[in-house]
């Protein structure tokens, strides 16, 4: 895509219009005609009006809440192929509408003399202001969820109809200031090709769903109204963040060329789907998919994963206003394992904290949450919640091949305590006659350099290891990759990172323990080449990266990769390593085929 961006910049300098930049959040390229999503009336248009009859206003409010809840439930029934996460998002909206404290705050304003519309505005904006002052980005964006719910109630108070089930008759790019997850679920259809938002957040529920639906999305786009008119032809590049309005022929031709090139590459890579990721001299690596949504199972099949190397369980927790019950978790995990159709599923227990906070959990105020109360530390302290999740996973293990993975382990005592909980819950289920896989394997994520130093002791208690490269790199290099001032220092090819991962794999090999390397580094072709050289058992990555990495491995000779690794281990910095691997692997790109 670099050549497209360069060409687009040159064209923009010449024409001074037609090219708009935003923030890419869901990759891919979309073409279609612009359609401005008719937004419901906003709170800025609601002025103070006195309540003539307080009882009547309260009755109107309650009816609007009931109609809003009925709309969401009806929509859920009419939307096909709902995933567990889609249902969870709808559940959040329904639970918010059922929240007595929320409704009572509005009623209190009505009793003070405001009409229902203005009382609703006061209560919603108070919530939005509260969330907007949160330091955590995820929590800040939960304010938009409350605003979405408030607008739905407002629309029903005013008697306006929704448009979530609108059908597009041609390829369409939806433009809006923001879009709620409920609206996106309702608008999902073949002709919805892309989404452009002037607002939005990188971790919003709508973005999470757009990625899952493979709909290109760009957010934070300014001046759309000045440049784009209804029905204008658009090209939306969800990888670079570029939006072209009525693009010149040269840009159209370039995207046509790239589309054909991508189709050719994908056709060639698709032929590898059922083949092994085996080097020319016979060393095989199993390639797994990292998923977080039930709908991601389609991508697991599409890209030919050998297994699900990581199922992140955070989303059902993040998408609710309270901890999901044992039954809710069990049913979701059961759907995941049954949808995997026989391949193994590694389920990671709750990994919150750092940049992932539960709105309903009281976190301590921490100067550096990445080094604080997060991950397994939260689970071991909230042991009732942890035991509930363990029971749900154990029960789901009766329906397929499950492994349990515990994140951010730093102490042997943590592993011993986890095993104690597991044994107790297994015993309890057995006494009650509840079926489960009594032999399921347990593993730990190696994400902290200190755990590497005691890995030989940790291995006495577990069956396998998964190297969590995202956090391991962050902790090894003392770099917060979300901090733009130092993000450039986050480097998977830093010599210290490579040697640390080499140590982990070597120790696991000596102890006959299975080892997998997981995270963004696993999908980086240069890193994957080195990971092949150190003979890791498995790599686990985002599903779309699997064909690219499989192709690389099948073209590699292990003996050559080992020679390259020996040279790399003598190099001083990542720039030297990158330059060397770039010459050795000239056809490998950091950008994925699926994102080009």
Pair of tokens at residue 70: 């009925």
Q: How far is CA 408 from CA 249, 260, 451, 467, 522, in A?
A: 51, 43, 9, 10, 18
Q: Which residue has the tokens 């008697």?
A: 159
Q: Which residue has the tokens 């990971």?
A: 531
Cβ partners under 8 Å of residue 208, min gap 6: 85, 181, 292, 293, 315
Compute the half-sphere exposure of residue 372: CA atoms within 13 Å on the CB side of its CA: 13
Burial category of 135 from C-beta neighbours within 10 Å (exposed 0-12, middle 13-18, buried 19 and up) = exposed
Q: Which residue has the tokens 């957040």?
A: 201
CB neighbourhood size of 355 (10 A): 15
Cβ partners under 8 Å of residue 591, min gap 6: 1, 239
Question: At residue 191, what are phi and psi to the nearest 5 degrees?
Answer: -85, -5
Which residue among the candidates 35, 109, 115, 205 is catalytic per the annotation?
205
Which residue among the candidates 35, 109, 508, 518 is catalytic per the annotation?
518
Q: Which residue has the tokens 């006061």?
A: 122
For residues 206 and 99, give the distance between their C-alpha atoms in angstroms, rounded to a whole number.
22
Q: Is 508 a catalytic residue?
A: no
For residues 586 and 525, give the distance between their C-alpha atoms in angstroms, rounded to a whole number.
11
Supply the DSSP symbol for 391: H
For residues 390 and 587, give the distance between their C-alpha atoms in angstroms, rounded to a whole number.
44
For residues 320 and 93, give the distance between their C-alpha atoms in angstroms, rounded to a whole number.
9
3-class secondary structure, 50: strand
Q: Which residues form the catalytic set?
A: 205, 518
């Amino acid at each position: 895509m670099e050549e497209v961006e360069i060409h687009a910049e040159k064209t923009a300098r010449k024409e001074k219009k037609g090219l708009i930049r935003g923030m890419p959040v869901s990759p891919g390229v979309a073409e279609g005609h612009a359609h401005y999503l008719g937004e419901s009336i906003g709170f800025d248009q609601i002025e103070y009006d006195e309540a003539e009859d307080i009882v009547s206003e309260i009755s109107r409010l309650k009816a609007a809440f009931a109609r809003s809840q009925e709309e969401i439930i009806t929509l859920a029934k009419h939307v096909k192929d709902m995933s567990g996460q889609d249902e969870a998002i709808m559940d959040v909206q329904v639970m918010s509408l059922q929240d007595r404290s929320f409704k009572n705050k509005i009623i209190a304003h009505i009793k003070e003399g405001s009409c229902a519309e203005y009382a609703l505005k006061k209560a919603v904006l108070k919530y939005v202001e509260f969330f907007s002052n949160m330091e955590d980005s995820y929590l800040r964006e939960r304010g938009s969820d409350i605003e979405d719910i408030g607008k739905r109630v407002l629309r029903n108070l005013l008697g306006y109809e929704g448009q979530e089930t609108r059908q597009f008759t041609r390829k369409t790019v939806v433009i809006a200031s923001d879009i709620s997850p409920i609206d996106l679920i309702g608008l999902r259809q073949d002709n919805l090709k892309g989404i452009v938002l002037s607002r939005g957040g990188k971790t919003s529920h709508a973005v999470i769903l757009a990625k899952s639906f493979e709909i290109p999305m760009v957010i934070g786009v300014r001046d759309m109204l000045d440049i784009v008119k209804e029905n204008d032809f658009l090209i939306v590049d969800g990888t670079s963040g570029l939006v072209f309005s009525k693009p010149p022929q040269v840009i159209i031709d370039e995207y046509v060329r790239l589309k054909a090139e991508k189709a050719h590459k994908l056709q060639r890579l698709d032929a590898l789907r059922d083949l092994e990721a085996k080097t020319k001299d016979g060393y095989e690596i199993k390639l797994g998919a990292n998923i977080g949504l039930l709908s991601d199972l389609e991508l697991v099949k599409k890209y030919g994963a050998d297994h699900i190397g990581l199922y992140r369980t955070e989303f059902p927790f993040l998408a609710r206003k309270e901890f999901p019950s044992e039954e809710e978790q069990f049913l979701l995990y059961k759907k995941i394992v049954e949808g995997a159709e026989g391949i193994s599923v590694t389920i990671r227990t709750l990994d919150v904290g750092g940049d992932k906070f539960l709105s309903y959990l009281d976190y301590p105020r921490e100067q550096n949450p990445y080094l604080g109360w997060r991950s397994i530390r939260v689970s071991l302290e909230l042991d009732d919640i942890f035991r509930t999740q363990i029971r749900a996973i154990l029960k789901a293990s009766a329906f397929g091949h499950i492994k349990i993975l515990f994140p951010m382990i730093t102490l042997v005592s943590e592993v011993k305590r986890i095993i104690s909980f597991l044994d107790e819950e297994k015993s309890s289920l057995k006494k009650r006659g509840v079926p489960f896989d009594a032999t399921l394997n347990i593993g730990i994520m190696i994400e902290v350099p200190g755990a590497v130093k005691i890995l030989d002791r940790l291995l006495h208690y577990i069956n396998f290891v998964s190297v969590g490269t995202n956090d391991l790199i962050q902790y090894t290099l003392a770099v917060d990759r979300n901090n733009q001032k130092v993000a450039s220092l986050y480097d998977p090819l830093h010599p210290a990172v490579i040697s640390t991962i080499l140590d982990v794999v070597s120790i696991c090999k000596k102890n006959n323990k299975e080892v997998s390397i997981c995270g963004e580094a696993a999908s980086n072709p240069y890193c994957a080449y080195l990971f092949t050289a150190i003979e890791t058992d498995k790599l686990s990555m985002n599903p779309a990266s699997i064909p690219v990495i499989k192709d690389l491995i099948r073209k590699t000779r292990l003996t050559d990769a080992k020679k390259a690794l020996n040279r790399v281990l003598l190099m001083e910095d990542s720039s030297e390593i990158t330059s060397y691997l770039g010459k050795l692997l000239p056809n490998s790109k950091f950008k994925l085929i699926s994102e080009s």
